[in-house]
Every structure is written in structure tokens, then in C-alpha cells.
Structure 1
Amino acid sequence: MFFADNLKFLRTRKEKSQTAMAEELELKRTSLIGYEKGVQPTFGVVMKLADYFKVSIDALLRYDLSKLGKFELSQIEQGFDVDITGKKLRLLVTTTDTNGEENIEMIRHQAQAGYTQGYNDPEYIESLPKFQLPFLSRNKTYRCFQIKGDSMPPLSDGSWVTASFIQDWNTIKNGTPCVVITKEDGIVFKLVYNQIKENQEIMLVSSNRSYAPYNVSIDDLAEVWKFETYNAFEV
């Protein structure tokens, strides 16, 4: 919980002294000092502070607001709960074999429209073809996607790539090849450049420079999967 650090950060951002802010909130200065040092406030005080800073209680307690960019902070202060990790956007559905090991589900490019609608539907995920690759780490969740088009050489149209699920989009390093599932454009395989901290977007770049880069808002993202291996097989 980041309450104490966020309280001090937001007070400083407002350029308020502890005395001035305590008076405005009708709190004792000693109480405010205690909260900034980790003393747990009552829920009523938390509500009062959230209202004062114009942020949600969830943001005040759960996010390290000092690490957010100016845009994210302004969005939160306007009442929007910006999810910069992707953790709230979907429940990841998986399947397992008879030994309890996670399968790798396969998504043909003909079935990609269905995946963008059914990626969080257990019955749909269960219906997908599946396999396992024993040399991959058991600490990750994988999917195998068939790539369409010629925008990402050396991979050609119809190639299959196995990718691992990215839980926290902030960890994506610039230039990482990823399968990106968007709510509007479906499934694409691109090099990802992380602009979440700056403007709540990622930039998608093709290795075939004939295709222009473009940006996607995190509001349009459903899932992001990091490229792990190329699969040379026919299905």
C-alpha cells in the first residue's frame, strides 16, 4: 500500500505545508505527520483525503503515484482510474493437460476475429487447438499465433510464433517483438515501443519499413504477448 508516500507526494505537488493542509482538512497537524510516516488513518480520513486531492481511493492506496507521468496524474486527478498495468482489463483464461500443466493454445489467422471477442471466454479458449513445448519455462503462460501479412520479415505470411503473456505493460522494453491484441484492429505482430508513461500509448513498428508506425492507446489494448520462438509447422 502506497498511502503514506502518496499523501506526502500529493501534498508537495499542491505546494502545501503540513500545517496549511491540516487546517484545510480540519485535521491535527500531528495526525497528518503520522499518516505520512505510515500511521493508518480511519476510512473516513482516507475518503476526505481522496476528495481533497481529487483522486480515487483505489489510486491513493494502490498505486505509487510518484512514478506516474504528468498525463497519468492529470487523468487520475480528473477522476479517471488509469490502469497502466493492464491487470484490470481482462481475466487470463488458460487450459491445462491431465497433469495440470498449462497448454499452449493456437490461434489461426482465420480465427483471429473470434479470439478478439472470446479471449476471456473459458469455453472459447477450451475449443482452441493446443499443444506443449517442453523446453519452454513453466513459469510463463504461452499462446501460439499465426501471423498474417509481410510486415514483419524474416517471418512470412502464415508463420507461427509462440509468445508469453505480459502482465505489466510498463515492463515492455522498446523494440520488443510482441503479438498485440487490440479491441479495434484485432491481432498484430509488431515491434513495440513503450510510451505509456508519456502519453498512455504504445507505438507499433514493422520490420518491413514499407509499413508506417502507428500508435495504440492502452484503452484499446486487450492483451500483449512477448515473442518467444518461431514454430515451423503446418496446421
Structure 2
Amino acid sequence: MSPIKKQNSGKDDNKKSNFIKSNLSFLRGEHNKTLDEMSELLGLSGKSSYRAYENGDALPSIHILMKLASFYDVSLDELVRFDLSKKEKTNAKTINEPEVPVVPIKARAGYVSGFQDDHFIDNLKTIKIPYKPYGITRAFQIDGDSMEPEVNDGAYVVGIKIDQNELQSGKNYIVVTDDGDIVYKMVVENQNSLNLISRNPKYPAKEVDKEKIKEMWKYYCHLNKT
């Protein structure tokens, strides 16, 4: 997705765009995110695209602005019209520690059969994560050492729900299959199947037909069990 080049349409637009660029730079710093991380989050072609927003060389589309407002937990109006660097940080802890439903190892069997049941999801316990991601999020507890040293046994991996057509081959995902498996792996896409690859070399790759995939969750962050 390419940024929209800014057009000089008047003083009011320039003033608003100045708030957008300064707010984006300020908020990214507050959340300790790199240009690469924000570009990946937004589906941009590279960090230069996001840098263009911060430099005021391009204006984000309304779709991108909505994503950014959701991620930074501010209103669209605040993001565009106000200098957020001057906003009092009274609710920083609440903003930075949203809660997401967590599927522990012992609840996996129930999840595979009940993941479409709102009552089941509502009764899952929650965990706090550092920042609010954009989209539907869920945490899954990892069973085993197949992704060590990257993610330890018992860690909680937080994922953002995606459709299969949003898959980026070579990235890490939580994959839920119709035979009851919930695995966290690096995924390589084939025409009709997915290769699920462990980081730990002692585990061989596993091939799964695409039609057997029930859910996919793109890696967002993980919390090691303490």
C-alpha cells in the first residue's frame, strides 16, 4: 500500500498535516516502535513510506489513520487536530496494558470445538499485554520447545487474527487446524498447503492442507511464563 502524496490545498490542511506528522513521530517514540515495525503493522512497502508520513511528505489514507488511532488508543480527531505531545499522561498505564483472552494448554481441546462460541470466548481468562494492537487479538500458551530459543515452553504468544489471503510467507503464526492442533510456527506457503517450520532444528517441518486450517493468528508479541 503506497502513501498518498500531499497536495497543497490551503493553510488549514497544512496545519492539520503538521499535527498528523508530529503526532505520529511522538506516538511512535512513546511506544518504542521502529519505522520498520510500524510499516509492517500497517502493511506498507517499507520504512520509507511511514517516514514520509512523519516528515509530512505524504498524508495517510483514512484507512491508515483509523488503524493508527486504534493502535495508539487515541481518537481519530485527536490524532489529526491536537498536539498529543502536550496531552497529560494520566491514563498511560490503562492505555498501555490492554487485556486479551488467553487459551491455556489445558483449554486447547475446548477451544478447537468452541472458538466460534461467544460464550466460550467470553469465559476465557485474560492477560495484559504491553500495547494495544490493531484487530482481533488472542493469546495462546505454547506447549513444548519447538520454537526455542525464540519462544520458551509455556510462554504466551499473542496473535492478531488474519484471513489466509493475508498470510505473509516466512512469518510466524499461530495455526489452528480442524484435527485439534494449535501450533506456533514459521509458515511457508505452497499452492495448496502450508509448511509449518520449527525454530528448534530437532523438529521436522510439517505440511498441512490449507483446507484444514480453521484459524490463523499473526505473531504480535509473546510473554514468557514466570
TM-score after normalising by structure 1: 0.51
Compute the displacement of 1:103 (Å): 5.1
Separation in 1, partners of 2:180, 2:206: 12
Residue aligning to 1:222: 214
Superposed, 1:90-129 pairs within 5 Å as 104-129=100-125
Per-residue CA deviation, residues 41-83 of structure 1 (Å, 9 max, x unaligned), is: xxxxxxxxxxxxxxxxxxxxxxxxxxxxxxxxxxxxxxxxxxx
Displacement of 1:136 in angstroms is: 2.3
Shift of 1:132: 4.5
Superposition map of 1:56-135 within 5 A: 104-133=100-129, 135=131
The letter of the residue matching 2:121 is: I
Q: Deviations over 1:136-172 (max 9, x none)?
A: 23x31110110001110121211111111112x1221
What is the count of residue pairs matched by the alignment? 128
RMSD value, Cα: 1.7
1:194 to 175, 189, 197: 189
Q: Does 1:151 align with 2:146?
A: yes
Checking the alignment, whether the CA contact within 8 Å between 2:147 and 2:200 is kept in structure 1 is: yes
The answer on whether the counterparts of 2:154 and 2:225 sit within 8 Å (CA) in structure 1 is no
- Assess, with a 3 A threshold, how the Cα gap between structure 1 residues 117 and 157 changes in structure 2: closer, same or farther: same
* Structure of larger gyration radius: 1
Unpaired segments ≥5 residues, structure 1: 1-101
1:231 corresponds to 2:226: no
The 8 Å contact of residues 151 and 207 in structure 1, kept in 2 or not, is answered as: yes
Q: Percent identity, aligned pairs only?
A: 30
- Alpha-carbon deviations, 1:162-203, whole Å to 9, x = none? 111112x122122211110001142011100111xx2x2111
* SS at 1:216 equivalent: strand
Q: Could you report, residue by residue, the CA deviation over 1:22-52 in whole angstroms, capped at 9, with x for unpaired residues?
A: xxxxxxxxxxxxxxxxxxxxxxxxxxxxxxx
For 1:213 and 1:131, the matched residues in 2 are separated by: 30
Matched residue type, 2:223: N
> Matched residues in 2 for 1:207 and 1:134: separation?
25
**1:170·1:194 contact (CA, 8 Å) conserved in 2?**
no
Match of 2:171 among 173, 176, 197: 176
Runs of 4+ in 1 over 3 A off after TM superposition: 131-134
The CA distance in 2 between the partners of 1:131 and 1:147, in whole Å, is 14
2:109–2:180 contact (8 Å) kept in structure 1: no
SS in 1 for 2:183: strand
- Residues 131 and 210 of structure 1: is their aligned pair in 2 closer, same or farther, counting only changes over 3 Å? closer
Following the alignment from structure 2 to structure 1, what is the Cα–Cα distance between the partners of residues 139 and 208?
Answer: 22
Gaps of 5+ in 2: 1-97
In the alignment, is the contact (CA less than 8 A) between 2:112 and 2:180 conserved in 1? no
